[in-house]
Chain A
Amino acid sequence: MPKPSLLEQLNYIAKEADSQLESAASEADIESWRVAYLGRQGRLTMLLRNLSSLPIDDRRVVGLEANRVKKLLEEKLNGRQQALKEAGYSRSLLEGGIDITLPGRPMAIGRLHPTTRILREILEAFTSMGFSVLEGPEVEWEHYNFDALNIPSEHPARDMWDTLWVDWADPSSQERNMLMRTHTSPMQARVMENNEPPIRVVVPGKCYRYEASDATHEWHFYQVEGLAVDTGITFADLKGTLYQFAKRIFGQDRQIRFRCDYFPFVEPGVDMSIDCFSCNGKGCRICKESGWIEILGAGMVHPNVLQGVGYDPKKYTGFAFGMGPERIAMLKYGIDDIRHFYTNDLRFLNQV
């Protein structure tokens, strides 16, 4: 039997070394620990030197145990060294820390004008339904702005569009009058004159009226006109097209409503309301307690307009609509005064 004291000593050393290593807090502590236990003069080394004094059988037993302890301590040493290194690295990284609450380096931010943004949104809704985007002149002949749209001169319907006339005398004998277009509708006649059906276009652009400005009226504004002409186009198609549009711009749950209205270039003529997205039709300030908000005028293209451009109204039918993008932007973005749009106060433009 080996001396119990030698194995006991071995165990004791292993336990002691373990706890000493735990409290080693620096590279230097670890080094002195290594010297104290595993060094040439270390306690484990010294103990192993005494092995030779044991009987051969005991020597094997104690020797195996001693090697196990040595290996264990060496592993622990490595682990401890690694942990200390990592802790030190982390500490050094933290020393290079910054105040992350300081603002970032400023980048120049540009924004599109709200009209450009809403126009893109509106046009996208229609191009996804197969409409092409076309544009026309803002300075227009009286003929396209009125006569071609079934609004002859001296017709009281002309009072619906107070007109800014351009100071221009026709050098030819045609007595043409030049004006600032009062709506985008003149493009209806221009498009049909230059194309054969089928037609499916939307026309964005600036329009002008002789009108005093207030919170909901501007003399200078945009419109988006729509026109679809082919064989077999019906009011139901107009309804479906505008329904899709309303949902896309104002949300999936929107309901639409048509009421009879008069525009000389459509028959039947209607205007379209959506149920109020603010109160869901219950009645609030935005919808003036009615639950509905008027957003556009529309109708089936008047046979006189079709005839005027040489289309056969018995063969072709079509629908047209027109809307004010500023009004839609005001509703959608909560803008309270249309005059903000074109006065370009950056305190307004920078917000939206």
Chain B
Amino acid sequence: MKIPLQWLKEYVDVTMTPIELGQRLTMAGLETSDVSFIGREWDNIFVAHVDKVQAHPNADRLRLATVNLGQETITVVCGGPNLAQGQKVAFAKLGAKLKNPESEKAQTLKAIKIRGFLSEGMVCSERELGLGEDASGILILDENAPTGTPLSEYLGDTIIVTEVTPNRPDWLSLLGVAYEVAAINGAEVKIPRSSYNEESPTIKQTCTLLNEAPDLARRYTASLISGVTIGASPQWMKDRLTKVGLRPINNIVDITNYVMLEYGQPLHAFDFDTLDKRTILVRRAKNGESLTTIDGIHRKFTNDMLVIADGTKPVAVAGVMGGAATEVSQSTTNVLLESANFKPESIRRTSASLEIKTEASYRFERNLNSELASAALKRATALIQKLAGGTVSKGILDSHPGKSDKSTVILEINRIKKVLGVALSTNQIKKVLTSLGFNITLIDQNSISVRIPYWRSDISIEEDLIEELARTTGYERIPATFLATSIPQHQKQPERELREKAKDLLVSAGLQEIISYSITAERNLDLTKKVEQTKPLRLRNPMSPEQEFLRTSLRGSLLATLEMNQRYGQDRIGIFEVGRVYLRRKDDLPEERDMAVGALWGGRAPLSWVGEQGKVDFFDAKGVVESFMSGLELEVEYVAGEDPNFHPGRTAYVKINEVTTGVIGELRPDIQEELSIPGEPVALFELNLATILQHLPKETSRFESIPRFPGSYRDLSLLADFHVPAARLESLIKDHELVNDVTIFDVYVGSGVPEGKRSIALRIHFKSPHRTLTSKVISDAEGEIMNRLVKEVGVELRS
């Protein structure tokens, strides 16, 4: 909200600078986002009296204005059609900086000859002063404006722009802010005058009020002012409304807006003579009823909306906007002034379904105190009588079914220490709460009865009062202490531990971690459509098709990241993501499953003088997975697998205890081409961390002592059928009781090896925990192993 400082000063003394005030308000919870100064650049501009207006000798549309600045009189050329003798205007002398209405840039005013007349100065428009948009004529000041005064002194102001939190509708009013300033300053709030003269007959004799929706209309008050004169508001009121950003309309409408800004209570004025049967009926709309609102739009209602009706038809959308047919116009003489309180939820729903947000609905949905309605009604009635004349009927109409009995809160003094950790004296409490407008009564030594002021609707429990005390005395006065209560038992989070360990293992394998958006475009999930069983969840209100579906796989974003980065010039990429996928469940929130995926592409090592290390392939991905699994102390089996996204024949399932926990492979070349990733293979892995978690060793592994007896190595060079898996050879060899380990150190196909065969060289480590093995024992063991290999898979020893 925009708060003009000059206006605020009408209710409270402000002793600090505007910047300081902004900071203090911010600390107290009313965030000040900007402080701007109107008229700071108005050097050489003064309030002037128009002494004389003559025709320009050489131009029909221009006139010569003779203005009086008190000390001097100047005659200049003026084009403003609304200029008239006797007016007070803003006059710029040479050297003043004015906004050029066309270019919007500031220009220094120079003497200029216009149609033969040397003009040394200028009568300004609103737009040239940067006050508003109007450039059609000159700005006419209030007739009481003091001639010769610098304009910045007369019209200059400081605007404090605040961001109001939803709990404080009172801060959407000048009086609400004034109470805050008073509490900061130790000053007192000057409440504006609300008294007026009433005359018979009573309003009840003239007008009927029926509240048929007491659940939604918590209060409805109205006053009747007869014989008003509709016209423009006085200049000071127009200036204030303009500074806050409201457009002046006529005196009655301006007063309703003015009082809304003063008190925070929206008001509405009806042309009383347009109300059928002189009746106000507060009721729910009937389905299909409609009304043309003051913005000229025809609105259709449903029966959950609250309307104000006259004897036959709706005349206003309660708390949102009035109807065009009953609004105050130039011909209005009798005004029915409404000041009401509506249920916030109802206003919010109606305003949302009709798609109208107004100053009124904004305030009502923030839950105003219903006591505010009558206070504002009286103030507005008094202003109308003062500025538009007329007689006020005796009394007001008042239906108040929502009168709250919770206007006091009991504050236990020792509760303050329990919440804040520091005690406050009764005197301190009294001083702070009183300055904010609360009324204090001591009940006993430990409890105070606190009466909530009518403009506050956010205070209902003790803690609310404790916050008032804390924010006003300042949080810096509360000490900082360590938690002294007992530390709860540590709760283990195996999923999280595995996830974080997975990240560390993949980083130590040389991969870069990525984190990508969990909600993605449908096209990013197309790839895995054939893999996933479940349909992805969709957002009801996606911001764009790029962020529409909850991902069921990390593959799409992984490959998109790879594609993007190679396009940006990376020549080798190794990335992984550990993240959640979201899998639909019947009748419940989706399963959020932890997955780990990785992709490698391009050179195995960066370009270097050491020489080319080749391009990555299946075995690089497998190497990563192997080191990952070994880091988790898991025994893993790799078996040939199939996956619609992966290269047939270059795909493996990762199995633990015969359960598939992941897949490794090269991306299918046709998919790769579709994704515009250049030729070299993309090696991928995907691991289901949720499944892996179930297979993690339950007990911490223990170190074995270093063997007492030395082992021995023997190399074996075999010729095997091409289709015999290396893993089969390994497991057959490992079966022998003296074999500790076996390592494949060469695989060869080519000249010297018969068609359909391959040569495999293995190094076997023999070891016994009981003795040193003699070469005879080892040779015998080798023989046994060879026999088994020949028998089971038909290998030959290569000479």
Contact = CB atoms under 8 A, between A and B. Distances in A.
B55 interface: no
Contact of B27 (A102, A111, A230, A259): A259
Residue among B28, B541, B586 with the most chain A CB within 10 A?
Answer: B541
Interface string A208-249: 101010000001100000001011111111011101100000
B610 A349 contact: no
B358 interface: no
Given A200-B487, A234-B481, A346-B565, A110 B574 contact: yes
A349 B467 contact: no
Contact of B608 (A103, A111, A344): A103
B170 to A, nearest CB: 13
Contacts of B582: 138-139
A110 B483 contact: no
A115 B564 contact: no
B475 interface: yes
Contacts of B31: 261
By Cβ-Cβ distance, the 5 closest A-B pairs, closest first, are A108-B510, A236-B421, A234-B421, A260-B29, A268-B467
Given A235-B420, A270-B475, 14 more contacts: A110-B512, A113-B515, A134-B493, A154-B348, A155-B166, A156-B365, A165-B541, A166-B539, A206-B518, A208-B518, A237-B482, A239-B421, A244-B482, A267-B467
B470 interface: yes
Contact of B540 (A165, A172, A260): A165
Interface in A159-176: 159-160, 164-168, 170-172
B492 to A, nearest CB: 9
Contacts of B608: 103, 105-106
Nearest to A199: B488
A262 B168 contact: yes
Given A106-B610, A228-B483, A235 B27 contact: no
Given A231-B485, A262-B168, A342-B515, A107 B471 contact: no
Interface stretch (A6-14, A41-49, A62-70, A125-133): A125-133
B547 interface: yes
B29 A262 contact: yes
A264 B367 CA distance: 14
B419 A300 contact: yes
Contacts of A260: 27-29, 467, 470-471, 475
A116 B515 contact: yes
A96 B464 CA distance: 81
Contact of B519 (A180, A212, A239, A300): A180
A167 B495 CA distance: 28
A228 to B, nearest CB: 6
A302 B167 CA distance: 14
A182 interface: no
Contacts of B417: 234
A264 B574 CA distance: 45
B772 interface: no
B111 interface: no
B166 A341 contact: no
A38 interface: no
Interface stretch (B500-508, B649-657, B725-733): B500-508
A317 B483 CA distance: 12
B573 interface: yes
Residue among A113, A233, A349 with the most chain B CB within 10 A?
Answer: A113
A116 B513 contact: yes
15 contacts: A106-B605, A106-B608, A108-B511, A108-B574, A110-B511, A116-B515, A132-B490, A139-B589, A165-B539, A199-B488, A200-B483, A237-B484, A239-B480, A239-B481, A268-B466
Interface residues of B, number: 92
B349 interface: yes
B51 to A, nearest CB: 48
A157 interface: yes
A346 B573 contact: yes
A252 interface: no
B543 interface: yes
B518 A220 contact: yes
A88 interface: no
A137 interface: yes
A296 B488 CA distance: 24
A157 B28 CA distance: 19
B609 interface: yes
A111 B345 contact: no
Interface in A98-121: 102-103, 105-113, 115-116, 120
A141 interface: yes
Interface in A13-70: none
B400 interface: no
B419 A102 contact: no
Contacts of A108: 509-511, 574, 605
A166 B487 contact: no
B193 to A, nearest CB: 32
Contacts of B606: 106
B483 A241 contact: yes
B587 interface: yes
Contact of A267 (B464, B513, B516): B464
Contact of A232 (B463, B485, B540, B573): B485
A113 B500 CA distance: 12
B540 A103 contact: no
B461 interface: yes
Residue among B29, B365, B366 with the most chain A CB within 10 A?
Answer: B29
Contacts of B28: 259-260
Contact of B421 (A141, A165, A235): A235
A230 B483 CA distance: 10
A133 B366 CA distance: 36
B518 to A, nearest CB: 6
Contacts of B421: 234-237, 239
Contacts of A231: 485
B490 A259 contact: no
B479 interface: yes
Contacts of A220: 517-519
B475 A259 contact: yes
Contacts of A251: none
A231 B482 CA distance: 14
Interface in B337-392: 344-345, 348-349, 365-366
Nearest to B347: A154
A328 to B, nearest CB: 16
A30 B510 CA distance: 58
B166 A157 contact: yes
Contact of B508 (A110, A137, A201, A236): A110
Contacts of A347: 568
B702 interface: no
Residue among B481, B495, B565 with the most chain A CB within 10 A?
Answer: B481
Contact of B537 (A129, A139, A155): A139
A135 interface: yes
A268 B610 contact: no
B424 to A, nearest CB: 12
Contacts of A111: 507, 512-513
B97 to A, nearest CB: 26
A172 B480 CA distance: 49
Interface in B507-535: 507-519
A278 interface: no
A300 B463 contact: yes
Given A154-B349, A235-B420, A239-B480, A180 B493 contact: no
